[in-house]
Amino acid sequence: MAARFRYVVSDMDGTLLSPNHTISDYTRDTLKALVHEFGVTPILATGRCYADVRVVAENLKKHIWGDGTTLPGALPATSPTRAPMLYLITSNGAVVHNGVTHELVLRSCIEPALAEKILLLLASDETVVNTNAYQNEDWVCRIDWPEMMAANQESGIRYIHVPQPPPSSAYTPATSAAAATAADASPRGIEIGDYSGISKIFFITDDAARMSLLADEVRAIAAAHGGAMPSLTFSTSDCMDIMADGVTKGAALRQLFSAVLPAKDGVDVVADAIAHSIGFGDGLNDAEMLSTVGKGCAMGNANPKLTAQHPELEVIGTNAEDGVAKKLRSVFGLQL
């Protein structure tokens, strides 16, 4: 059983991370053992943006490989981890990076004109629903809600507050060039009417009725706009995520394997890697990923809709109980 899985694919918040949004020592030690004893490759798959996850990944990388493995090839050739590998699937599958070299593997962005329409859907005096976007390395939001950053303490990422984004008609290449040559704090992107490079738009509210209506409105806007329908899912019950057409964590996993695995005669390397992957998640945005991997596990604290829609998933312990680490130790025969 121990040799069956070569890849551990895990959601972060509500899954790999504890309730205080950190990776416990028990979980870090478990991943370190799997990497060094079994040559397992960890893959973090999250709705968060890359700029946020990069810091978490760097800390995990140092724990697993130490400070001397910034680049692949640092360990002896006899080691199963001679080329340290860690991948980051972020923005619900819209962006994928090599977590060791930080090389961009793939990126899918929402068409700028459609992104503008969705971002400007709500009025500037809205107080119940917060419109957010991940644009390149930035997190932009329309309502100043500092409590949203509670889950981002390890990375220290901060949002850019843009209560009323200007229309794209206000944007010119000259404006963009000026922003690019100025200090980092200078207005850029959505702040100046540039809606390119947006990997994810998300609405946050605890008003379930408003959220349901918003989902219908977004679909209507996309239908009227024409072209492919964007991907829509819920990372949590109070957060609706919108990505480009076809973007899911599961699709990103397949694209990742296709991009990085060398071809083998007579072997479908993507299908083989998928079959040798075990995945963990707690939200509806994990559904495609958990249905894609060789074995999918839902957390004990998962959204009830996830387990109801996918009864084939094994339900394990909660994230507060280090459920992922305990399941992995059981599967690989490590001491609990």
- CA angle centred on 15, ends 12 and 21, rounded to 5°: 60
Q: Is residue 48 part of a domain?
A: yes
Same domain? For 25 and 146 the reply is no
| Coil/strand/helix, residue 318 | coil
**C-alpha to C-alpha distance for 121 and 101, rounded to whole angstroms:** 38
What does the pLDDT read at residue 184? 58
Q: Is residue 197 part of a domain?
A: yes
Same domain? For 143 and 231 the reply is yes
Where does a domain end: 224, 243, 262? Answer: 243
Q: Is residue 38 part of a domain?
A: yes
Q: Is residue 2 part of a domain?
A: no
Q: Is residue 1 part of a domain?
A: no
With cut-offs at 50, 70 and 90, classify the pLDDT of residue 151: confident
Q: Are 111 and 231 in contact (CB under 8 A)?
A: no
DSSP bridge partners of 98:
87
What does the pLDDT read at residue 3? 58
Same domain? For 100 and 15 the reply is yes
Same domain? For 129 and 233 the reply is yes
With cut-offs at 50, 70 and 90, classify the pLDDT of residue 287: very high
Which of the 8 DSSP states describes residue 151?
A: G
Q: Is residue 165 part of a domain?
A: yes
Looking at residue 296, which CATH number applies to its domain? Answer: 3.40.50.1000
The count of domains in the chain is 2
Where does a domain end: 199, 223, 243? Answer: 243
- Give Cα separations from 214 to 133, 142, 167, 251, 255 (angstroms): 16, 16, 21, 25, 30
Same domain? For 104 and 116 the reply is no
Mean pLDDT of 174-201: 77
What does the pLDDT read at residue 175? 55
With cut-offs at 50, 70 and 90, classify the pLDDT of residue 145: very high
Query: Crossing angle of helices 323-332/25-38, nearest 10°?
Result: 30
Q: Are 245 and 38 in contact (CB under 8 A)?
A: no
**Percent of the chain at pLDDT exceeding 70:** 91
